[in-house]
Amino acid sequence: MLAVPPVVSLNTSKIPLKSVAKNNLSSSAPAHPTQDKHRVTTAIVYCEANFGAIDGKTANGLIRHSEKYKILSVIDSQQAGLDTGMVLDNKPNAIPICRDLADALSQADATPASFIFGMAPSSGMLSKHERALVLEAMSHGMNIVNGLHEFLNDDPVFAAACIASKVEILDVRKPRDKKDLSLFSGRIAEVTCPVIAVLGTDCAIGKRTTATIMTRTLNEAGIKTVMIGTGQTGIIQGARYGVALDAVPSQFCAGELEATILKAFEIEAPDVIIVEGQGALSHPAFSSSSFILRGCCPDGVVLQHAPGRSERCDFENMAMPTPASEINLIETFAATKIIGLTINHENMNDHEVSAAISQYQQEFGIPVTDALTRPAEHLLSMVLTAFPGLQERRVASS
């Protein structure tokens, strides 16, 4: 792998570090129930014909990072027999791809605790075949983890199957009752540590992956960092604080995110909060990015872009925006600043990634890297360049 020196731009404006007050904030409950980060249960992931592809992003994410579940296998008959790590990142991880449910069960030492639906189709609904498969998994005694917009607990057939098989269904996207939802209050201003949003130029472009790696890297460097999940995959992975924004009524989206951040700040007293982005601010099909910018009022934004992607995901007649146009839109829409650019290397070789990094560094005068193919320390440098006061915390903690 071609090594790239740490990226530090003399043209990048440094953002003053807020003074972190160990606080007594009182906020409403997190917009999604907190996860028990110490409990890990076994699971198989269903991702037929989509593992490694865009619509398989939930399965892809769980293979790369999962705190809540120990993934035993992935179901995708088109790639049966392959290693999931090799398919995703050309690095073996001994998690196999299985032909079907029977194959996955035969390779497990015991019946897995959970069956995770690992795809994110644009319809957000189960097909007739998928409904039958989920019911079959329940008959084997597996709990169901469902990240779709279709809430299975509301379906009488699945409700009856839960009782018959003594299992549970987790509808990850289901929001709290409206009477319990939070409106935006403006109390986000009481969060005194840097808040960084990881946004993108398209959906399914790697925002969550970059946010996860950035969070891990900062924590390993002694900078206490909490990630706020805003989609179903991050919550399934085990994000302790999160809300599936695209399932929340629009009036409450900014408030639910604000309440979640306030709760994380109150409980964790972090040095940094990273907020996972959704969709793209410029994308007419998605509104989540606007709610994220309003709800978290970020001090800085990291923008994820795929130079090798010519059209928007699922919209073949819609050209991808340029990083320049997205940066201008974000900085016009919100009182924030782009502190770095990260690359999604799909359809690119290593030389092309390096060329893109050099081009964007020169064009924008900000740090640029690829979270998956370049050293994670580049993300650390990106954050420290924007918030140099964090370096003192890093030294103090070490």
81 falls within a domain: yes
Taking CA atoms, 207 is separated from 127, 324, 364, in Å, by: 28, 18, 20
Provide the pLDDT for residue 16.
Answer: 57
Which residue bears the tokens 């790369």? 64
Q: Residue 218 falls within a domain, yes or no?
A: yes
In a domain, 220, yes or no: yes
Provide the 8-state DSSP code for 178: G
Which of 128, 147, 171 marks a domain boundary? Answer: 171
Are 106 and 199 in the same domain? no
106: buried, middle or exposed (CB in 10 Å: 19+, 13-18, 0-12)? exposed
- The 10s digit of each residue's pLDDT in 194-240 is 999 999 999 999 999 999 999 999 999 999 999 999 999 999 999 99
**What CA–CA distance (Å, rounded) separates 98 from 44?**
10
Q: How many domains does the chain have?
A: 2
Q: Which helix (H) or strand (E) is 331 found in, with range? A: helix 323-333
Q: What pLDDT, on a 0 to 100 scale, did the predictor assign at position 321? A: 98
Q: Enter the DSSP assignment of 326.
A: H
CATH number, domain with residue 107: 3.40.50.720
Q: Which domain holds residue 208?
A: 180-397
pLDDT of the residue at 9: 32
Which residue stretches of the chain have pLDDT < 50?
A: 1-13, 19-37
Instruction: Determine contact, residues 136/256, Cβ cutoff 8 Å.
Output: no
Is 314 found in the same domain as 241? yes
Residue 260 and residue 335 in one domain:
yes
Evaluated on CA atoms 271, 239, 151, 164, the torsion sign reads: negative
* C-alpha span between 17 and 4 (Å, rounded): 27
Note whether residue 25 is domain-resident.
Answer: no
Domain end residue (candidates: 114, 137, 171): 171
CA distance 171 to 234: 14
Model confidence pLDDT, tens digit, residues 143-200: 999 999 999 999 999 999 999 999 999 999 999 999 999 999 999 999 999 999 999 9
Task: Give pLDDT, residue 299.
Answer: 98
- Using DSSP, state whether 247 is helix, strand or coil: helix
- Same domain? For 158 and 186 the reply is no
Domain boundary among 124, 142, 171: 171
Residue 15 is predicted with a pLDDT of: 58
